[in-house]
Structure 1
Amino acid sequence: MEHTNAQMQACIDQCLKCYQVCQGMALTHCLKLGGQHTEPTHFRLMLNCAEICRTSAAIMLSGSPLHQRTCALCADVCEECADDCERVSDMQECVDACRACAQSCRAMAGAAA
């Protein structure tokens, strides 16, 4: 499936925003609040989500056809992160960024998803 430069740029932007939000919230909001916010499984998931978002953006920026596979994985991780951030609560910014990124990556993954 062929994507326009505008579609790919929009997905890159969503990935970078999600990276920034997940990384930032994990290292500020979650560490400040503690408790459920710093449970190892939740905290690792947030950092893993940030990293796959950053990686997906980098793969798309390189022009590699591998972006379909990284975007499919990124969408899965973002959905899992959004669900877990909802479970923990008080993390709506992360939930919204993850859901938007998942939707954009799922579209970019196309038939590979």
Structure 2
Amino acid sequence: MHQIDPEMKACMDACHECHITCLHMAINHCLEAGGRHSEPQHIKLMLDCAQICSVAIDCIARKSERHANICRECADICRACAASCEGLDGMEDCVAACNRCAEECEKMAA
């Protein structure tokens, strides 16, 4: 049986948590909260973050030769998403998930 490298697993887990958190928060919190929470640029960034996390998981799982590039981009988008969410009421979980994912993806990209 093939075992997933612990570092790869940690990154995939962080990406999964970030994907779910950003998607859930964008649709179930930000759109309902309105105001700055629902500005198009913020919502688009959150959805971009969720999507790149999903792509990163797939690339890591199949050991794509491009996974380092994808993880580098994922970390960059996660950092931007965390910055966009900081200071908005109720977004602490999203900020934490994005920062954790960025840290794990930076390790994978190195």
Gaps of 5+ in 1: none
Name the amino acid aligned to 1:94: C
Gaps of 5+ in 2: none
Name the amino acid aligned to 1:77: I
- Within a 5 Å distance, the mapping from 1:1-113 to structure 2 comes to 5-110=5-110
Name the amino acid aligned to 1:99: N
Q: TM-score, normalised by structure 2?
A: 0.94
Q: Residue 88 of structure 1: CA displacement?
A: 2.9
CA shift digits 1:15-63 (9 cap, x unpaired): 0110000000001011111111110000000000000001000111111
CA–CA distance in structure 1, aligned partners of residues 24 and 60 of structure 2: 22
Which deviates further from its counterpart, 85-94 or 67-76?
A: 85-94
CA–CA distance in structure 2, aligned partners of residues 87 and 65 of structure 1: 37
Name the amino acid aligned to 1:92: E
CA shift digits 1:74-101 (9 cap, x unpaired): 0000000001100434200000000000
Cα RMSD after superposing both structures:
1.1
CA–CA distance in structure 2, aligned partners of residues 62 and 38 of structure 1: 35
Task: Figure out how many residues of one structure are paired with residues of the other and give that number.
Answer: 107
Q: TM-score, normalised by structure 1?
A: 0.91
Larger relative helix fraction:
1
CA–CA distance in structure 1, aligned partners of residues 80 and 9 of structure 2: 24
Percent identical across equivalent pairs?
43
